[in-house]
Amino acid sequence: MKFFIERYSGKKIEDNPLWLVVLSDIMTNLMLFFLILYVFTIHPDLQASQFMEGFDQDAAKAQKQQKAEEVLKKFTEEDLAKKLAEDLLKAGLKDMAEVQITARQIKINIAAPVLFESGKAEITGPAAKVLGPVAQVLNTLPNDVIIEGHTDAVPIKSGDYPTNWQLSAARANAVVALLAASYSVPEARMVAAAYGEHRPVADNATREGRALNRRIEIIVPRE
């Protein structure tokens, strides 16, 4: 057979010539290059880092684990928020406290009269117990917490605070201090914010609207 090939080939065949090996490598690289271009064409939102992670089994496994933990965390947040709403209802605060759950945050809205006397920023003993179930949720979750103080638009005529903004700031700080001192919520996770009358949720022209605007909002971001 070898004699037959040599007779009709015109020259002796070389085994594995070097140029053929180099050409094979070039063709393989070109094929991979065009394959990558094709993948990015059909998936334009795909990031390069995500594409490379597909070749790393450990990274892919870690990413799946992270996604699973995020989903579990979402369910945990919702379960705790629903339980808090039930606890506030059992405490007789149906019309004075509300829990709202969205994809972005958990908002706990507490009417100011539940915690404070008119024009004051000191939280009394009985009122402090209202924050107990709230603190339990905050201590269970690792999320940061934003404590917002809000007032109505009626100017302050007497008391320790000359403006609604200063009153709302003092009340937000009082809630932060109580959560940290009495319920061990880490101060590093809490932020106090004051908005005075500038973020109303109802019409300040009515008595009912002003009552809704006087509030403390405890916000737990979920993202």
84 and 181 assigned to the same domain? yes
Confidence of residue 96 (pLDDT cuts 50, 70, 90): confident
19 part of a folded domain: yes
Tens-place pLDDT, residues 204-222: 999 999 999 999 999 999 8
61 part of a folded domain: no
Ramachandran angles phi, psi of 103, nearest 5°: -65, -25
138 and 41 assigned to the same domain? no
CB 100 within 8 A of CB 50: no
How many whole angstroms separate alpha carbon 87 and alpha carbon 106? 15
CB 99 within 8 A of CB 91: no
16 and 101 assigned to the same domain? no
124 part of a folded domain: yes
Tens-place pLDDT, residues 177-214: 999 999 999 999 999 999 999 999 999 999 999 999 99
56 part of a folded domain: no
Confidence of residue 4 (pLDDT cuts 50, 70, 90): very low
Query: Starting at the edge strand that comes first in sequence, how are the strands of the sheet with 105-111 ordered?
Result: 97-101, 105-111, 215-221, 145-150, 190-196
119 and 210 assigned to the same domain? yes
- The DSSP letter of residue 218 is E
129 part of a folded domain: yes
How many whole angstroms separate alpha carbon 202 and alpha carbon 210? 7
